[in-house]
A = this chain, B = another copy of it.
Amino acid sequence: MRFKAVKGTRDFYPEQMALRNYIVDSWRRVSLRNGFVEFDGPVLEYLDLLTAKSGEEIASQLFSFVDRGGRQLALRPEITPTLARMVSAKINSLPRPIKWFSVPRLFRAENPQKGRLREFFQWNVDIIGADNDILADAECIFTAVDFLHEVGLTHKDIIVRIGSRPLTVAMLRAAGVSDDKMDSALAALDKRSRVSPEAFIEIATAAGIPAKSLDDVCRFQDSKDLQEIKERLSGIAAAEVELEKIRTLMEYLDDMGLSEYYQLDMHIVRGLAYYTGIVYEIFDRAGSLRAIAGGGRYDNLLKLVGGPEIGATGFGMGDAVLEILLREKGKIPELSPKLDCFVVDAEGNQLKQVIGITTKLRWEGIATDFASKPQPLRKQLTLANRRNAQYALIVQKNNIVGIKNLATGEQKNVEISRFLENPYEYLTSDN
């Protein structure tokens, strides 16, 4: 009997794990330097919380089940509902703005495709309760770009495409879409860039966008810049205040040095139902991959899960598309594990000494391993090199250890007891 991994899940062998840790550690480092603190919630949540406000797309992709106590549970497909639940529960004791990040493992019961898995990790960065909402949106975008730049991607590799839910809603309303059809009309627009023009017409009319207005809606989405967006929306009173927000956002992003990293793009609508303001997705410039990240403002979500009415904004970035892009761009660094010392047994009969040295060094915080199999010295030194050890410690007769710097080949011999009195003295390589 041979067992396999479940389709759409991943086995992280040490090599893949090192890459995952590189990505997650970089997410953490960049979050912290941007002033965010880390949180996490459970993988298991009540089904109600997760289906409540995210909309159709997420609900259809849930792994859910009834537990022995008859409770309807599900594996989290995103962490935003958990964030809303947790913040709502302690809203009065949390200092604002609440700047939180998380790196949850998420689960979606969808068909695995390139960049889409059933189990994946997603970096989430959110600001809740900021006094200057637009600055909070800009800060989240900055944090995403700061990370991408940190792992070696520049404005030549990636682009932040910025849309606006309220402007799109205003356009749809002017096009004759009724409020009860608004969510499905938005979902149809969100799909536009991923289907053929013919398929889009079918989806859009089925979703409640009048056929006669479809050209207008498409021209609005295809607008090249703020001026053109403004013209397409002329006469729609509700648009002015939202256009001003976009202008302000652009100014903040420019102040942050990101002028080359973003562009307005009204095709960006986002699939989730809870967005209420500026929305954005980050893509590879070549446009060959799915979105690397996506986010936006969701001012009503906390209220919808029983919390306060409070501004909130943030984004999520999955690990799967990011990894594909880093690989394509040759930006995955050398990640082999390293050791400080590798202890070898020159005589083949000094196991007690090898064990004593190895464990003493580990206890002192020095990463050390040893050749656990009796074999010729040359083979043990090869092993020391393969394990990326900085030093080989060669245990010899008469309680002597040779401290060999494997980069320079230089070797010092000392008494073992003297070496163990202060190993750091011998291992600080100034050579």
Contacts and interface: CB of A to CB of B under 8 A. Distances in A.
B368 A131 contact: no
Interface string A81-94: 11001101110000
B44 A9 contact: yes
A86 B11 CA distance: 7
A118 interface: yes
A34 B387 CA distance: 13
Bin chain A's interface residue count. 35 or more
In the complex, the count of this chain's copies comes to: 2
Contacts of A363: 146, 149, 257
A18 to B, nearest CB: 7
Most buried by B among A17, A255, A359, A373: A359
A418 interface: no
Interface in A338-360: 339-340, 352, 355-356, 359-360
A95 B33 CA distance: 39
A35 B105 contact: no
A235 interface: no
Nearest to A21: B38
A12 B35 contact: no
A68 B7 CA distance: 13
B97 A372 contact: yes
Given A33-B367, A43-B105, A64-B65, 17 more contacts: A3-B45, A4-B46, A5-B42, A5-B85, A6-B73, A9-B41, A9-B43, A10-B42, A13-B39, A32-B367, A33-B340, A33-B366, A35-B368, A35-B370, A75-B75, A142-B359, A256-B359
Contacts of A52: 1, 3
B71 A67 contact: no
Most buried by B among A2, A6, A34, A109: A6
